[in-house]
Amino acid sequence: MKTFSFLSLTKLYAASLFFAATLFFCNQAEATVTLEVCYEDGMLQNRSVVVLVADGGDEVFLSPSDASAVGTVLSEGQTFGASDDHILAVFQAEGGDHWQGSAGVLATVAALDYATLGIEEGTPLVIYAFPNIMQPGASIALGDEVIEYRNTEVGGSGGDIPFTAPPNSGVYTLAAITPALGGTFDPTDPSNSEEFESFSAGLPGNGSDPDGTGNSRDTAIDLTSTSGAVVGSLSQGDLDYYSVQVNGLSQVTAYTTGITDTLGFLYAPDGSALNTPVEDDDAGEFLNFRSSGIVHSAGEVTVGVLGKESITAGDYEVFLEVQPLSGYRSDLTIGRGATNQIGDDIYTTSGAGQAVSQKLKKVKLGRFYFEGQNDGGLLDDLTFTGTKGNRKFRVSYYKTSDGIENVTASMAAAGYLQNIDPLQAVGFRVDTKGSRLVKKKGRGTLNLSIRANSEEGGLDLGKAEVVVKARKKKKKR
């Protein structure tokens, strides 16, 4: 087997990049890959993640600057953004004396099965290095630095094959080695066959501002005191930033209007991402983005607005809305249907403003729906309780979110406990049926009280009334 040993490399030069991969194939179906990487320009750090990616069949790699690249999980088998490209192997850089103060990767991936991986001889390969991502399995964040390298020349930069999957047997080497190490790769002057480029993940034009009218996160346009829309303009590859000040726990919603197809990236005061742009890029009107996130501390929230495609250009209107939140706050709505319920944002322990009734002219199934909501900005445990059945009426409770679950036993006793994310809800249904006693008398009334209780955020109560008044049958003469 061919391998490289860094113990045999006596000299390393600044600004050098070294990639080597050895693929060993067994019985036409398996392969072993060894990847060696060396950075001496400070780009790779100890534990930096490097991945080997295979094209899925269209022979075009998704650019790391594409918005869909944001959120890609750096694990074997994962697809790269909204593409058919997939990650074959994940490596992590390590420091050591043989790296002369830098960091690199020496690793082996065995048993690559072409059929299972969906690749074949000639499938294009590419290497992406992430100098500032230190954990395999992490997700790519907007603006993360990505280094792309591949070489289409046979034996280029010290290897013996180009960056394509080799025949399904044998031992092969992929490499990008500086002349001092026996290769031909010069990071300052790549050859025509080499693709060597740095990207900012998810940002067309590397996050530049080609029209000169935009801004950076450090100089974002402050919309805190602005009411209504602010007009912005995107040129091709443009990125504009806006900001708003929040005083504490809040929900921040950002969106655009207009005919320009936009994407939006929300950032909390600590710089962490608040949304996944590709999931809500068309959640607003027409093709505009609309996205929300919960902020837990006071500070500046920023939103980056860019075009859906690298060639997108045009005007738009941007809105940033802030809704202060309580840490914990339970809410309950109720109705005769799963939708159009009453009681939203009404917090009461008496049921006022959230009471419904149903009148039945014969003994049959009565049905109500209710929803427990976490109106707070923090994860909360809500306990649901309800009136139990009696000798006149049978009462059954069902949780309807994520399937149907009978929760009667707990609802009518100590309570049904449900963990609910901030600003999320869980749906329920309650069925009632009059007993033989109600049927015999032709009438009966059931009063239900349903409670959603948060230990920290208080109680909210809804009421429902079922009235059975059957028509008496006329006696035959």
pLDDT of res. 116: 76
Q: Confidence class of residue 284 from pLDDT cuts 50, 70 and 90? A: confident
- Cα distance between residue 282 and residue 82, in whole Å: 15
Residue 407 clears pLDDT 60, i.e. is over it: yes
Of 447, 437, 445, 451, nearest to 467 by C-alpha is: 445
Q: What is the per-residue pLDDT for 144?
A: 83
Mean of the pLDDT values across residues 353-358? 95
Nearest to residue 236, comparing CAs of 202, 204, 284, 273? Answer: 204
pLDDT value at position 18? 44
11-69, pLDDT tens digit by residue? 333 334 444 444 443 333 344 444 454 444 447 788 889 898 999 887 789 888 777 78
Q: What percent of the chain has pLDDT over 70?
A: 77
pLDDT range class, residue 209, cuts 50, 70, 90: very low
pLDDT of residue 39: 40
Give the pLDDT of residue 7: 34
Q: Name the residue with tokens 């999931």.
A: 279
- How confident is residue 269, by pLDDT bands cut at 50, 70 and 90? confident
The DSSP string of 188-212 is: TS--TTEEEEEEETT-GGGG--TTS
Q: Is the pLDDT assigned to residue 263 strictly greater than 60?
A: yes
One-letter amino acid for residue 6 of the chain? F
pLDDT score of 35: 41
Tokens 């964040």 correspond to 141
Cα–Cα distance measured from residue 22 to residue 4, given in angstroms and rounded to the nearest whole number: 9
Q: What integer pLDDT is reported at residue 23 of this predicted model?
A: 43
369 contacts 428 by C-beta, under 8 angstroms? yes
The residue among 113 and 151 whose pLDDT is bigger is 151
The contacts of residue 255 (CB under 8 Å, 6+ apart) are 264, 283, 284, 288, 289, 290, 291, 318, 319
Dihedral (CA of 338, 340, 344, 349) sign: negative
Look up residue 159 and give its DSSP letter.
-
**Cα distance between residue 176 and residue 191, in whole Å:** 11
Confidence of residue 105 (pLDDT cuts 50, 70, 90): low
Closest CA to 456 of 375, 387, 399: 375
Rg (CA), the chain: 31
End-to-end CA distance of the chain: 105
pLDDT band per the 50, 70, 90 thresholds, residue 400: very high
Q: How many residues does the chain have?
A: 477
Q: Which residue has the higher pLDDT, 329 or 182?
A: 329
Residues 6+ apart with CB under 8 A from 476: none
